[in-house]
Structure 1
Amino acid sequence: MTTSTEMSQLAIVTGASSGIGKATAQRLAADGFHVLAGVRKQSDADKIAEVNIEPVILDVTDQTHIDNLVERVASDPHKRPLRTLVNNAGVAVNAPIEVLTLDDWRFQFDVSVFGQIALTRALLPALLANKGRIVNITSVGGRVAMANFGAYSAAKFAMEAVSDSLRREVEEFGVTVVKVTPGAVSTNLTDSGLAAAARIADTMTPEQHERYDELGKAFTAQAEGFARDGVTPEHAAGVISRAVTARKPKTRYTIGRDGAMFTFMPRIASDRFLDTVLRSQNKSLAKTKS
């Protein structure tokens, strides 16, 4: 139910062009927030603009964009306080570590770690002043690092640490930090991840193809399975809405059965057991693409 308090507050959602981010912007707008929806292109802004959703051009790696957003919040014509920052923007660079270039690693971290940190730091004074909430969208890849997910998982593991440290630094000042951990969600991040993997595969040597082509088939099958069987972005947005609006939120919410399973599994399973399970899973997935 929308409250008058929520209607008088701002929420920022990054990566709102599509998928989880777009669905979250729409859900929070329906909850009554005025949502500043971060998108990278004007064409995406035109598509998402609607009642209570104000698109803002935001590349989290561009300091000018960040400064503009901070100014937009500070100069809100209705003097609405910033209630929530949902850090959702991210990319997926998936390939074996041997074949990833340092530029690939930098791109993954620039968007998925350093950009998130830069935006959070810039908005933290407003969030502190308003006793707001930061919701970081993590991943099961930040709990279990699977083969072919080295750069992506490293970035998500980093955001797990950033989230925990920040929560312990600012909670006593009234700012709540919450992690939301999705499993398989049907979004276009799957398509962009497959495209990035194909681009990198084109640079591999014959010896690397011999080593990793089966792994590439497994990754493709898994990604296609996410697109086919994953929960909808709207389902994910419902969980994020709870993380935003709960009076006493948990420190983590999971999305989907696999989100819950992979969050819990590292606590009870040994590394060797996980190695065996994941290796067997990859072999089975690869067969489906042979």
Structure 2
Amino acid sequence: MAVARKTILITGCTVGGIGGGLAEVFLEKGYHVFAGLRNPSKASPTLTKSSHVTLLTLDVLRAESITSAVERVTTQTGGKLDILLNNSGGNLILPGLDVPIEKAKQMFDLNFWAPVAMIQAFAPLLIKARGTIVNNTSVNAVVPMPLMSMYNASKAALATASDTWRIELEPLGVRVIALATMGVKTNAFVNKTMVELPKSSQYWDIREFIYGIYDGRLQSSGITTNEYAQKVYHEVESGVSGITWVGGGAGMARFSWWLFPRSLRDMLVESIMPFKKEMAKASQKKKV
């Protein structure tokens, strides 16, 4: 028998992360949640114990895993899905000159091509439900945060494609939202493996600064995953489409970004990521 509640499939629902927070809030709001994880044992007790949650062993980088998820959802819903929320993603902090090309391709596979594969696979269910696609991108899609060019570019690709899909899928009755996410405290940097800077790097002298970013400092002023998820739920239910800024300070940041000239925007970026300051300090040390 098909589930009676509205349905949502969320990828990357590991406890302590954005996906886990989203899953718990949509569950709280009355949805049946299909929670996708590569390892379901990493779901929170709230998700594990609920009869309104279906844990899916889902690796978005494997076609056969996506196919299996489609079959499972189809069986339980009668072939409909109200919301597909592509949340899975990864980050990479390293200067563009030093990023191994293979690592960069892996970043795009996870942050861009995986959502494409999910959308194509679940399109029939979404069209039947006249549903909604929500893609979790990042403010880095428009904000040129130093040392994160591959991440920025992969999220920009997803944001741009999402806004195009908004137009393409509207005649089919499917709404598309691209979340420009900012300022959320998660456990994303816990046990995260750093990519070592080569000794030949032009940025070798600021390596400690680069490695230090892995301590999660960029999330220090962010909101909780629950607060973020509540905001996302509100945006989804409000009927918005297209690129939507969500997260700690998102409203002011959006206003400032489009209003300020580039010089002031660069100053804002520098205040968050003092890259130029660190490079200047390293240059001064060489002169002493």
TM-score range, shorter chain: 0.7 to 0.9
TM-score by length of 1: 0.84
Q: Distance in 2 between matches of 1:240 and 1:280?
A: 27
Number of residue equivalences: 274
5+ residue gaps, structure 1: 1-5
Q: Distance in 2 between matches of 1:215 and 1:98?
A: 17
Matches within 5 A, 1:85-234: 85-191=84-190, 195-196=192-193, 198-201=194-197, 203-205=198-200, 207-210=202-205, 212-213=206-207, 216=210, 219-220=213-214, 223-226=216-219, 228-234=220-226
5+ residue gaps, structure 2: 283-288
The structure 1 residue matched to 2:274, chosen from 263, 272, 283, is 283
TM-superposed CA distance for 1:200, in Å, is: 2.6
SS of residue matched to 1:90: coil
Matched, 1:244 2:244: no
TM-superposed CA distance for 1:179, in Å, is: 2.0
Partner of 2:14: 17
Q: Distance in 2 between matches of 1:217 and 1:275?
A: 22
Counterpart of 2:178 in structure 1: which amino acid?
A: K
Q: Distance in 2 between matches of 1:46 and 1:146?
A: 32
TM-superposed CA distance for 1:255, in Å, is: 2.6
Q: 1:177 to 1:280 in 2, by over 3 A?
A: closer
TM-score by length of 2: 0.85
1:172-215 deviations in whole A, cap 9, x for unaligned?
221111122221111012336xx34x3333x44365412x4365
Q: Is the 8 A contact 2:48 2:55 kept in 1?
A: yes
1:89-112 deviations in whole A, cap 9, x for unaligned?
100111100110011101111111
Q: Distance in 1 between matches of 2:78 and 2:94?
A: 46
User: Alpha carbon RMSD of aligned pairs, Å?
Assistant: 2.6
Q: Distance in 2 between matches of 1:161 and 1:184?
A: 21
Q: Distance in 1 between matches of 2:240 and 2:20?
A: 22
Percent identity, aligned pairs only, is: 25
Q: Distance in 2 between matches of 1:262 and 1:182?
A: 11
Matches within 5 A, 1:236-275: 236-246=228-238, 248-275=239-266
Q: 1:147 to 1:125 in 2, by over 3 A?
A: same
Matched, 1:63 2:56: no
Q: 1:141 to 1:46 in 2, by over 3 A?
A: closer
Determine which structure has the larger helix proportion and give its number: 1
SS of residue matched to 1:56: strand
